[in-house]
Amino acid sequence: MIKLVGIHKSFGRQKVLDGLSLDIEDGKTTVIIGGSGGGKSVLLKHIIGLLKPDSGQVLIDGVDIASLNDRDLNEIRKKFGMLFQEAALFDSMNVMENVAFPLREHTGKKEKEIREIVKEKLKAVGLTGVEDKMPSELSGGMRKRVGLARAIAMQPQIVLFDEPTTGLDPVMTEAINELIVETQRNFDLTCVVISHDVQSIFTVGHKIAMLYKGKIVEYGTPEEIKSSSDPVLRQFLSGSLEGPISVI
């Protein structure tokens, strides 16, 4: 169980998270939505301890991760997989080495077995025959999918996806959503997905949370969200310029 309690985070004078609290249920997919620059990626980085809150707590199975030493934090991180918004592939390594990285690092598996797993994960994200390519030789969408394969390579219990479908074509978007739903169901994963794509939100989410002005302003099942009367949420889902969210 991931529990965020009263998280405040500022960068310099800019306040990004302002007393945010959120419970993320085990074995479910929670989708976080919110405006661009609203702090969704920052929120995700708090969950895995890449950023430390100015105040407030991130509890994972009841343990405040800020209080952990490196070794214990690493033990917790091994349960996680994460897809970064810009994929964050190692550009000194080819695709095979990228996806194999966590396997080589943390499992005693044989080289042959690792290659099998990598091929299988790449196939799951719709990539074949790219094992020897370098990240710089891939398109943005392909990079994202390699990042996805790397995130799920270790069969983690918790997976954090930062915009898994942004920049993909509609068919590929559907396929990746399907992949997330399937893996989540088959392995009973806890998933946290950041998404802008209204269609995807309702396909993959069991729970949806709306981040606005540093707080979660609305939280509920897709049905609850669809029928919510919260003006911020209404405006966000309809993509209208009229409403409390001022853009320009």
Partner 1 sequence: MNKIAATVDNFGRAILENIEEMGRILLLFLSVLMWMVRPPLKLRLIFKQMEFVGVKSIFVVVLTGTFTGMVMALQGYYGFKMFNAESLVGSTVALGMTRELGPVLTALMVTARAGSAMAAELGTMRVTEQIDALYVMAANPVKHLIVPRVIAGVLMLPLLTVVSDFMGILGGYFVGVPVLGINSGAFISNITKLVDLGDIYHGLTKAAFFGLILSLVGCHKGFIATGGAEGVGRATTEAVVLASVSILISDYFLTAIMF
Ligand X SMILES: Nc1ncnc2c1ncn2[C@@H]1O[C@H](COP(=O)(O)OP(=O)(O)OP(=O)(O)O)[C@@H](O)[C@H]1O
Out of 1, 25, 26, 37, the only residue in the binding site for ligand X (CB under 6 A) is 37
Measuring CA to CA, which residue among 42, 70, 40, 43 is closest to residue 166?
40
Instruction: Give the integer Cα–Cα distance in Å for 45 and 42.
Output: 5
Q: Does 184 bind Mg ion (CB under 5 A)?
A: no
DSSP structural state of residue 168: -
Q: Which long-range contacts (CB under 8 A, 24 or more apart) does 95-99 make?
A: 95/122, 95/127, 95/130, 95/131, 95/132, 95/133, 95/134, 95/135, 95/138, 95/146, 96/131, 96/132, 98/135, 98/146, 98/150, 99/146, 99/149, 99/150, 99/153
Instruction: Give the integer Cα–Cα distance in Å for 29 and 200.
Output: 12
**Window 135-164: contact mask with ligand X (x via CB under 6 A):** ------------------------------
Alpha helices in 39-91 (DSSP H): 40-47, 70-77
Stretch that binds ligand X, among 21-29, 36-44, 91-99, 103-111 (CB under 6 A): 36-44
Q: Closest approach of Cβ 215 to ligand X, in Å? A: 13
Q: Write the single-letter amino acid at 183.
A: T
**Which CB atom, from 118 or from 233, has the smaller least distance to partner 1?**
118
Stretch that binds partner 1, among 43-51, 60-68, 115-123, 166-174 (CB under 8 A): 43-51
- Sorted by sequence, the CB contacts under 8 Å of residue 106 that are 6+ apart come out as 78, 154
Q: Does 49 bind ligand X (CB under 6 A)?
A: no
Stretch that binds Mg ion, among 40-48, 120-128, 219-227, 229-237 (CB under 5 A): 40-48
6 binds, among Mg ion, partner 1, ligand X, none (CB under 5 to 8 A by kind): none
Helix (H) or strand (E) holding 239: none
**Which CB atom, from 35 or from 49, has the smaller least distance to Mg ion?**
35
Out of 80, 161, 212, 236, the only residue in the binding site for partner 1 (CB under 8 A) is 80
Stretch that binds ligand X, among 39-47, 116-124, 127-135, 137-145 (CB under 6 A): 39-47
Out of 21, 57, 85, 157, the only residue in the binding site for ligand X (CB under 6 A) is 85
Instruction: Give the integer Cα–Cα distance in Å for 2 and 79.
Output: 12
Residues forming the site for partner 1 (CB under 8 A): 45, 48-50, 70, 74-75, 77-78, 80, 82, 84, 86, 88-92, 101-102, 105-106
